[in-house]
Amino acid sequence: MTAETTRIEAFSDGVFAIAITLLILEVKVPPPGSGELSLALARQWPSYLSFLISFAFIGIMWINHHRLFTHIARSDNVLLILNLLLLLGVIVVPFPTAVLATHLGGTNQRVALILYNSTYVFIAIVFNLLWRYASSDKRHLLAKDVDVASVQRISRQYALGPAFYLVCLALSWLSAAASLALNFALACFFALPPNLVAANKNRAGQYRRE
């Protein structure tokens, strides 16, 4: 992070922190008179599940945002706008999370899943646009001593995001469990450092050749 991008990352960190904190507000304390407390708490499992998945997503998005800005040394107006669009998606996450927590397992489950997955499709697209713009040779926004191989690894890993989140969206019509499971798997995948993903691919290629 350089002096030119310090304010961008500081502001972004604040937005990530607010969004991830708002998630817990949708996990309600059962009111008195709602029956056995242990049963009332257990009935709130959709809220716990939605909270945990969205917490993981926002946390991993913050990690990846930090990774990008270890390479980005300069900014311009377009980069600032793309970063704001990304933060728009991040700050919206608590709303579809609350909708999913309320309707998971109910008659409106599909609509809730479509809204939830559509939010992540938008974020995945904007993440790619931000990185593709910043890493373009024409923009000269990356650090002069940037590791070209690392840039290429990040680009390859991020390119998978929109397609896989579209699959999650399509699964909303077929299976809520499959859609949420793939969402969680994608969170784990994007939490991995790009160099580890590349190393695993190279190892798999060696095994196939052998």
pLDDT at 183 exceeding the cut of 50: yes
pLDDT (0 to 100) of residue 202: 47
How would DSSP label each residue in 86-139?
A: HHHHHHHTHHHHHHHHHHTTSTTHHHHHHHHHHHHHHHHHHHHHHHHHHH-TTT
Length of the chain counted residue by residue: 210
Q: Are 136 and 98 in contact (CB under 8 A)?
A: no
Tens digit of each residue's pLDDT (9 = 90 or more) over 110-128: 999 999 999 999 999 999 9
Map tokens 């900014």 to a residue: 75
User: Could you report the per-residue pLDDT of 71-120, keeping only the tens digit for each?
Assistant: 888 888 999 999 999 999 999 998 998 898 888 888 888 999 999 999 99
Quick one: pLDDT at residue 6?
86
pLDDT of residue 198 exceeding 50:
no
Compute the average pLDDT of residues 5-33: 87
Distance, CA of 113 to CA of 109 (rounded, Å): 6
pLDDT band at 33 (very low <50, low <70, confident <90, very high): confident
Rg (alpha carbons) of the chain, rounded to whole number: 19
pLDDT at 192 over 80: no
The residue ranking higher by pLDDT, 5 or 168, is 168
Residue from 42, 59, 75 nearest 141 by CA: 75
Whole-number average pLDDT of the chain: 83
pLDDT number for residue 139 = 65
Q: Are 114 and 43 in contact (CB under 8 A)?
A: no
> Letter for the amino acid at 48?
Y
